[in-house]
Amino acid sequence: MRGLGRGRGRDAAAAAPTPNSTAHPPPPPAPAATAPANPVATLALGFKKKAPPPPPKIPAWRVAAGNVAAGATAGAAVEAALYPIDTIKTRLQLAARGGGLRSLIAGGGGKALYAGVWGNLVGVVPASAIFMGVYEPVKQKVAAANPEKGWLGPLIAGATAGAAASIVRVPTEVIKQRMQAGEFARAAGAVKAILAREGAKGLFAGYGSFLLRDIPFDAIEFVAYEQLKAAYAASVGRDLHAGEVSAVGAAAGAVTGVATTPLDVLKTRLMTQGASGRYKGVVDCARRIAAEEGVGTLFAGWQPRVVWIGLGGCVFFSALEAAKRAYAADPVEWAATQSGGAKK
């Protein structure tokens, strides 16, 4: 027993720290060996975490329908709002034939400012619908093929859409201007009288001058609007507000209106000459006006035209952007509608 006690004492003495020794903490446990990653398990985890589905794609026909509806709405809005200014412009351009402002006042004043407006709306709505239905897809295709030339899409699309819409625009413009000149009181009567006296070609009088004016006009105006809008959006770092869209549209319209006034004068003279055959074509009309009335006559009515086109750009592009947002299909709502219809 004593030997055992002395052994315990020696063990305790050996275990006790000496005055000059330092106690060290026990070393940390070795990290547990990590099992190599199992590729099968990793792949299984990846399948469990499904990626969100891509947003549903809106069909092309639905996008086209929205563009067509937006064009019709914008065209009706601008025509109804600014028709009186267009009437004054037409009367000034016909002043040489006794159809000026004095005749307008004598023929009914304010009421005469809206002569032919309803018949014109019947043509403007489908013409504007055709224009936007052609403009948007052509612009996108040209822009996709020429990404470095941002101006080329609106230029080609504006000219192409203007040519397509001219099939409806020209007869509408002929009837409108002859009613504004006081020749007819109603659109239906104007169509019957023109067809009886001049045939179908009477409804397309001045078609060449119309294209000469409207194709450059549409191309210039839409290029100016798209480029100004893009430049302004880039400078402020956001989309344009409604007031800014109006200002950009007015600027684009005013510049285009001044540049195309001579073409508009030629178109007006050719479309309103009726069966008289006074002018043999665009070149003859320009030559006779310059020789008989002076070159300045080619800019007759530029003041109301600039006001009209400037305000028209303001109203049209504001209405167009608002209508495009209103008629655009929401991808989520469209998918819900389609799934609901499928269940039924």
pLDDT tens track for 183-196: 888 888 999 999 99
Long-range contacts of 96-101 (CB under 8 A, 24+ apart): 96/293, 96/297, 99/181, 99/182
**How much is the pLDDT for 323?**
95
- Residue 14 scores a pLDDT above 50: no
Confidence of residue 335 (pLDDT cuts 50, 70, 90): low
Confidence of residue 270 (pLDDT cuts 50, 70, 90): confident
Q: How far apart are CA 258 and CA 250, in angstroms?
A: 13
Residues contacting residue 312 through CB under 8 Å, at least 6 positions apart: 78, 82, 253
- Residue 73 scores a pLDDT above 80: yes
**How much is the pLDDT for 95?**
59
Token pair 């200002």 in the structure block, residue? 247
Average pLDDT over all residues of the chain:
80
Per-residue pLDDT reduced to its tens digit, 40-71: 555 455 555 555 666 667 888 888 999 999 99
Confidence of residue 5 (pLDDT cuts 50, 70, 90): very low
Q: Residue 271's closest CA among 163, 173, 164?
A: 173
**How much is the pLDDT for 176?**
82
Mean pLDDT of the 97-102 span: 54
Q: Residue 284's closest CA among 195, 273, 275, 307?
A: 273
**How much is the pLDDT for 289?**
92
- Residue 242 scores a pLDDT above 80: yes
DSSP string, 109-177: GGGGGGTTHHHHHHHHHHHHHHHHHHHHHHHHHHHHH-TT-TTHHHHHHHHHHHHHHHHHHHHHHHHHH
Mean pLDDT of the 246-255 span: 95
Confidence of residue 239 (pLDDT cuts 50, 70, 90): very high
